[in-house]
């Protein structure tokens, strides 16, 4: 997640000079679309697929091990106050395989593990879905090459100030997340305690009797 944040922060410079580095750092759809015409297919495709799949098994295992507590943790970690989290959970109850295939984000992977989806079924949906999605993005980029080239030209001619602005916005976002206690460092530091539940917190706060 931290690598994605850094990649997103400096994306204007990476789009201009190191497009594959951007995909390796942050392989979200918009960056795949922008760099698709700037790099060879197989390196971009391989990096994007592997990078997108990298964290999904970890979130699945988290859900499998901690169940509902992992889901509640994911809600707190990724909720932005838009109501999207609750909507995803409702859709997942009816169309879990579709979400894992098309939108295997952290919350969906946690839900897949927490609801008892088999490892084999999850892996098949996750891998095939990710490969299909990246290929579809590449093909779509070819259909809208004109607008994408216009955006890339804008980045090329203005990458210095765009990079500075992007870094500034990212720093403000990070400070806001830190103030709310939702930064990645804070989330990782309290992950085990949150997943173990209030009993674990009470145990940590209770002084141990001397032997």
Strands (E), 92-200: none
Structure confidence by residue, pLDDT tens digits, 14-54:
999 999 999 999 999 999 999 999 999 999 999 999 999 99
Indicate the angle between helix axes 119-143 and 84-102, nearest 10 degrees.
90
- Angstrom CA distances, 202 to 72, 77, 194, 206, stand at 19, 21, 11, 6
Structure confidence by residue, pLDDT tens digits, 124-156:
999 999 999 999 999 999 999 999 999 999 999
Distance CA 7, CA 14 (A): 8
197 φ/ψ sector (left φ>0, alpha ψ -120 to 50, else beta): left
pLDDT at position 82: 65
């Amino acid at each position: 997640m931290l690598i994605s944040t850094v990649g997103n922060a400096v994306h204007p410079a990476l789009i201009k000079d190191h497009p594959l580095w951007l995909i390796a750092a942050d392989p979200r759809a918009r960056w795949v679309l922008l760099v698709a015409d700037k790099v060879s297919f197989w390196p971009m495709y391989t990096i994007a697929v592997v990078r997108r799949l990298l964290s999904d098994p970890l979130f699945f295992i988290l859900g499998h091990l901690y169940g509902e507590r992992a889901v509640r943790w994911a809600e707190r970690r990724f909720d932005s106050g838009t109501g999207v989290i609750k909507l995803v959970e409702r859709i997942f109850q009816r169309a879990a395989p579709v979400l894992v295939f098309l939108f295997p984000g952290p919350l969906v992977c946690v839900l897949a593990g927490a609801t008892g989806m088999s490892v084999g079924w999850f892996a098949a949906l996750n891998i095939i879905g990710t490969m299909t999605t990246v290929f579809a993005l590449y093909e779509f980029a070819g259909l809208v090459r004109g607008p994408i080239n216009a955006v890339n030209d804008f980045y090329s001619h203005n990458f210095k100030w765009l990079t500075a602005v992007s870094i500034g916005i990212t720093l403000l976002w990070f400070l806001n997340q830190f103030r709310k206690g939702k930064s990645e460092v804070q989330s990782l530091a309290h992950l085990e305690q949150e997943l173990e539940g209030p009993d674990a917190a009470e145990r940590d706060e209770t002084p141990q009797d001397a032997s």
